[in-house]
Amino acid sequence: MKEGPDIAQLGALIGDPARANMLTALMAGGALTASELAAEAGVTVQTASSHLKKLETADLLVQRKQGRHRYFALADDDVGALLETMMGLAARRGLTRTRTGPKDPALRKARVCYNHLAGELGVALYDGLLASELLAEADGEPVLTPAGRERMIRFGIDINALETQRRPLCRSCLDWSARRTHLAGSLGQNLLSRFESLGWARREPASRVVHFTARGETELLAMFCRQD
C-alpha cells in the first residue's frame, strides 16, 4: 500500500459532476440549503443529501443550522483555493464549459473567490500592491510590507486584529480567468468587505459577480494600483 496523502480520494470526491457543481456554487462564499444545492447540481434532494454527507465527512464542507434549516458552506480557505486552482488548470487546458451569455464578461472582470476579490480587478489590485511596494513576495507568497501595513490601517483595515488570527494574513490565489495571481488570506477578505462597506462594490445576488461602481473602480485603481 502506498503511503502519504490520498489525492485519489480527494479527486473522486471533487470530480463527480454533481458534487463539482455544488462546490462551485459555494465559491460565492455563502451558505446554501440542500434543496438549493440539489438545484445547482441537477439532482434530487435525496441524492444531493448523499453527496453532501460525503463532502462533509471529508471536511470539504461544513454544516450550519439555523432554526429548522440546515445550510452548507465550504469548510475553509484551503478548499476555496483548491477549487480556484483547479478552475485555473481546467481553463489553461481548454476544459471549459459553454459560455452562458452576458454575465460571463462581468464574472471575468470582478467576482468573489470564496471570500476575496478575483477577476481582472483582483489581479490589478495584486499587481498594484506589488508595484507600489505595499506587498512583497517571499518564496512565491505575498508579504505585507511596513508601507503596506500603514496604508491598510489608514484604509480602515484592523491589521493588528488580523495578525492574531490563525489564518494567513496574505496568501496568493491563482485566478482561473486571468490566469494570474490575486490576493487571498484574511487581508484579501477584509479588503473586499471594505470595498463593499464604502459603497464601491456590491455582490450580485445568487452569483459570484461583484459589480464596482464607476467611482469605486476609480478609487480602487487610484489608491492601490498606481505609484504614489
Radius of gyration of the chain (CA): 18
CA terminus-to-terminus distance, the chain: 58
CA distance linking residue 186 with residue 50, whole number of Å: 32
The residues spanned by each domain of the chain are 7-75, 79-224
CA distance linking residue 95 with residue 10, whole number of Å: 19
All residue ranges of the chain with pLDDT < 50 are 1, 99-101, 227-228
Q: CATH for 7-75?
A: 1.10.10.10
pLDDT digits 0-9 by tens, 100-110? 445 678 888 99
Q: What is the pLDDT of residue 61?
A: 94
Please, what sign has the CA dihedral across residues 191, 193, 215, 210? Answer: positive
Q: What is the pLDDT of residue 100?
A: 47
Q: What is the pLDDT of residue 98?
A: 55
Q: What is the pLDDT of residue 227?
A: 47
pLDDT digits 0-9 by tens, 4-25? 677 888 989 999 999 999 998 8
Predicted TM-score (pTM) of the model is 0.75
Report the candidate in 161, 172, 80, 190 with the shortest Cα–Cα distance to residue 130.
172
